Chain A
Amino acid sequence: MKTTRRSFIQKTALLSGVFSLGFDWFESKANTGVIQQMNPVLDANRFNAFLSIENTGKIILYSPNPEIGQGIKTAFPIVVAEELDVDWKQVEVRQANLDTQLFERQLTGGSGALKHSWERLRKAGATARHMLIQAAAQQWGVEASTCKTSKGFVIGPNKGQKLAYGALVDAASKLAVPAEVSYKSRADYQIIGSFVKGVDNYKVVTGKPQYGLDTQKSGMVVAQIVRPPAFGSTLVSFDAAEVKKMPGIIDVVSFKNKVAVVGKSTWEVMQARKKLACTYSDTSNLESDSTHKKWFDEGMKTDKAKVERKDGDFHAAIAKVAKVIEATYECPFLSHTPMEPMNFFADVRPGSVLLAGPTQVPQSAQKAVATLLGVPENTIQVELTKMGGGFGRRLNNDYALEAAELSSIIKMPVKVMWTREDDMTGGIYRPAVRYHFKAGLNEKGEMTAFYLRGVGLNAGNSTRQDNFPVGAIDNVLIESFNYNSAITTGPWRAPITNFLASAEQSFLDEVALAAGKDPIQMRLEWLQKVKTNPVGKITYEPDRFIEVIKQVAEKAKWGKKGPNVHQGFSVYFSHLSYVAQVAEAKIVDGEAKVTHVTAVTDCGEVINRSGAENQVIGGIIDGYGHAMYSKLSFDKGVPQQKNFDTYKLIRGNEIPTVEAHFVNNGIAPTGLGEPALPPTGGAVANALFAATKKRLYRQPFAGPDNANL
């Protein structure tokens, strides 16, 4: 059966057995429903929709988005199941593969999935429920409005009128799709907002294959790729004679500055690649930490910075203030280091390509491979595997392209695997950035002038110029300057804000101190001003900000914990969610230690309490761990940390306790995979300052050089 994007909303040939509901996701407003019946045998591999109900009673919910640990495979179906009104225990959840005709926005990034799909998912569930009620009402000869549903049954007004959804499927599928459906009221939610466990838990705890690296296909060979060790150097020549003599080696081929060693097993390939002799171009002028320092210094002085935002006249205002506060903050490059290193499977054959592996953006993998190989997109099939984390790294499909290119050269199905060292030294990092802040206070201690310049290395615009406190300050100047570095970068969980928020929330603490104000009161005063009289364009809602701030002050007992608990506050808006945090530090054996973090999050409706807590707590630990410990440094283009012995990730004996609270106000849900991370660095720096009176300006805070520049 051929479907086009448009024809997908048409009714298709009806074959008995399965009731399946699809939507035209391509019309943003008119997401009209359509019933499709499909033959489960013929279409066994084709995922037509978000839900299907078989006449046996089996309910299958499809989750189209790549699962990376953010819990989307559990959260999406929760919404459908809620509006469908079934028992969570009744449903089976399956991962859908890439299907650009059936699903829109099949990607993981920007914490945008729920925001994008909330209405669509509710409609999918509610439409099916209404049609099942309709079918039952017709059968009983009663008004649909007198029927209700409960846990997968339609219940009629008269005694004994109770039918399971499965028994109504055939009749329901012959009805017209209602244009409008009503949704459950929040008070009736049974599943949304409850503690729902991950749908893959059984597979995880019993070690079932699920991840890209677990891929095994018939005839598959394995490969590892040797890339230039220094960013900016190129491969001049290589000698693979010794490699080819090693046991288990099938081939050694080169493409795009890389040499791929292909073999029968992982260990044999790992051993053989050590024998590869490569000559690279001269590396003496490549970038080192000292180069980056020089660039940062120059970037702070240049008159070529781009103005990102201007309110009032900063320069005139700062000349007149009573007090000026200035500080410079800096962060290093970071590797994403998901626990599962990069890998991808590709089988390129004449007329068909099969790709399988962990990617946050399967559709762009399909497109990029089509371009690379010069084949039509619809000949490329992409299987989505579960991902052992990603944190933004798998938004870049470089490793999928490598697999496809290699398979097309060697004409074999191949799994390309990156070792941890390949993964850590292979690029696409969180960019290093330096920020300079300047604030002017008038006699009353009010901030009347605010300046920020961000200088980034492959960071693009390293500011978020329209974010709070902008909107509350009369004179604002925000500038960015970018250096093109040979070191490759990409989005890293909460791009830019992962450090910008830390620096800014720390700086605002300095401002509060200089103004003699409580940091929380200072924010609340500003937000009042934004409510009544905002300066310029703002992108946030002041009331939602105020609510998380007030709640965190109460939950963390702000200022009321006695002299031995040193608190630090921070609040940040990103990915349309609001998160306020209070970190606590104590002096333990003469050293300041962060012991606790309290967070209040407004992400609208909380879909899955368990998943939401996991994301907030995980985001805070991620933010804390990287702020404290992690750093990637460079010498002549070569990353100096190659594995977890020198690149430190936080461990379980180093974590503060975390409390995650939610406003849960019923507003349409917004992102949660990222927004808890940005505020953490600032709350932590402020708590450590409260404990030690020493301000931390450079990450990692536990590193040797964390002082102001």
Chain B
Amino acid sequence: MESIELQINRKKVKVEVDPNTPLLWVLRDHLSLVGTKYGCGIAQCGACTVWIDGEPMRSCVLPVSAVGKSAVTTIEGLNEKAEHPVQVAWDELDVPQCGYCQAGQIMTAAALLKKNPKPSHDDIVAGMSGNICRCGTYHRIHNAVKRAAEIASTSTSTKKK
């Protein structure tokens, strides 16, 4: 057991855990942030994707001790009002079926758009291929990433005006 300080969704928190505990279980069991999902535990499905300093990472294989001072962002911290372009697009295109994989999909998509605000279809397919959706919502996922890029570009261009 160790006392570990983390920065999660712009807040400082302290947890008493075994330092080897994957971040996923710290979030879910110790911090009641259950939006991040468990799907495989071996970095295969992407359900547990969170951001570490803005980079998408598989929290199921990331020991909490390795997080250090990095800023952690989970689905709960993306945008509480669901106003992030990716969340807006996900709702507009009605992507979720069971919804279980979608937190991971959304965190992956939002990170992809930060790096590549105007992705081609191939960029989207490649960027999202690490996340499994057992319900088969892949087409809508791809379309929603494209739509989110459009939403983001119109809102920034309006801002510029």
Contacts and interface: CB of A to CB of B under 8 A. Distances in A.
Interface string A323-348: 00000000000000111110000000
Nearest to B38: A213
Contacts of A650: 136
B20 to A, nearest CB: 8
Contact of A201 (B96, B101, B129): B96
Nearest to B26: A267
B113 interface: no
Nearest to A677: B136
A206 B80 contact: yes
Contacts of A241: none
Contact of B140 (A211, A338, A614): A614
Q: Is the interface of A mostly helix, strand, loop or mixed?
A: loop
Q: Is the interface of B mostly helix, strand, loop or mixed?
A: loop
B25 A265 contact: yes
B29 A266 contact: yes
A390 B38 CA distance: 15
A652 B94 contact: no
B102 A205 contact: yes
A71 interface: yes
Given A618-B137, A643-B42, A204 B25 contact: no
Contact of A618 (B22, B90, B129, B135): B135
A135 interface: no
A389 B98 contact: yes
A200 B97 contact: no
Interface string A207-219: 1111101101000
B139 A657 contact: yes
A339 B133 contact: yes
Interface in A291-336: none
A339 B100 contact: yes
A201 B18 contact: no
A622 interface: yes
B157 interface: no
Interface residues of A, number: 63
Interface in B12-57: 17-18, 21-22, 25, 28-30, 32-42, 44-45, 47
Nearest to A650: B136
A198 B32 contact: no
A388 interface: yes
Contacts of A214: 34
A512 interface: no
B93 to A, nearest CB: 9
Given A617-B139, A651-B129, A651-B132, A643 B99 contact: no
A644 interface: yes
A169 interface: no
Contacts of A222: 29
Contacts of A643: 40-42, 44
A534 B140 CA distance: 42
A614 B137 contact: yes
Contact of A340 (B37, B90, B106, B128): B37
Contacts of B74: 207
B32 to A, nearest CB: 6
B99 A388 contact: yes
A267 B82 contact: no
A337 B98 CA distance: 13
Nearest to B98: A69
Nearest to B29: A265
A341 B17 CA distance: 24
Interface string B107-146: 0000000000000000001101111111111111110000
Contact of A338 (B35, B103, B131, B134): B134
Contacts of B131: 652
A203 to B, nearest CB: 8
A495 B74 CA distance: 38
Contact of A644 (B17, B45, B142): B45
A246 to B, nearest CB: 10
B67 to A, nearest CB: 15
Contacts of B30: 265
Interface string A644-662: 1100011111010110000
A84 interface: no
B76 interface: yes
A619 B97 CA distance: 11
Given A266-B29, A645-B42, A653 B139 contact: no
A205 B98 contact: no
Given A621-B136, A653-B125, A206 B41 contact: no
A649 B134 contact: yes
A267 B18 contact: yes
Most B C-beta atoms less than 10 A away, residue of A621, A652, A655, A657: A652
A557 interface: no
Interface string A379-407: 00000001111110000000000000000
Contacts of B128: 652
Contacts of A655: 136, 138-139
Nearest to A619: B136
Contacts of B78: 206-207
A622 to B, nearest CB: 5
A339 B132 contact: yes
A417 to B, nearest CB: 8
B82 A216 contact: no
A203 B103 CA distance: 10
A195 interface: yes
Interface in B71-89: 74-76, 78-80, 82, 87
A69 B29 CA distance: 25
B133 A267 contact: no
A195 B94 CA distance: 9
Contacts of A387: 98
Given A198-B96, A213-B38, A340-B98, A206 B138 contact: no
A202 B38 CA distance: 20
A191 interface: no
A205 B141 contact: no
B82 A339 contact: no
A247 interface: yes
Contacts of A555: none
A268 interface: yes
Given A214-B34, A340-B98, A268 B18 contact: yes
Complex A-B, nearest 7 residue pairs according to Cβ-Cβ distance, in ascending order: A207-B35, A69-B98, A388-B100, A621-B136, A207-B75, A204-B99, A653-B129
19 contacts: A197-B91, A197-B94, A201-B91, A204-B90, A205-B96, A208-B35, A209-B34, A222-B29, A266-B25, A337-B134, A339-B100, A420-B39, A420-B41, A614-B97, A617-B136, A618-B137, A651-B130, A651-B132, A655-B136
Interface of A: 68-71, 195, 197-198, 200-211, 213-214, 216, 222, 247, 265-268, 271, 337-341, 386-391, 419-420, 610-611, 614, 617-622, 625, 643-645, 649-653, 655, 657-658
Given A388-B100, A644-B132, 19 more contacts: A69-B135, A71-B97, A198-B94, A205-B82, A205-B102, A267-B17, A267-B29, A338-B134, A340-B98, A340-B100, A341-B38, A618-B135, A644-B39, A645-B44, A651-B132, A651-B138, A653-B125, A655-B136, A655-B139
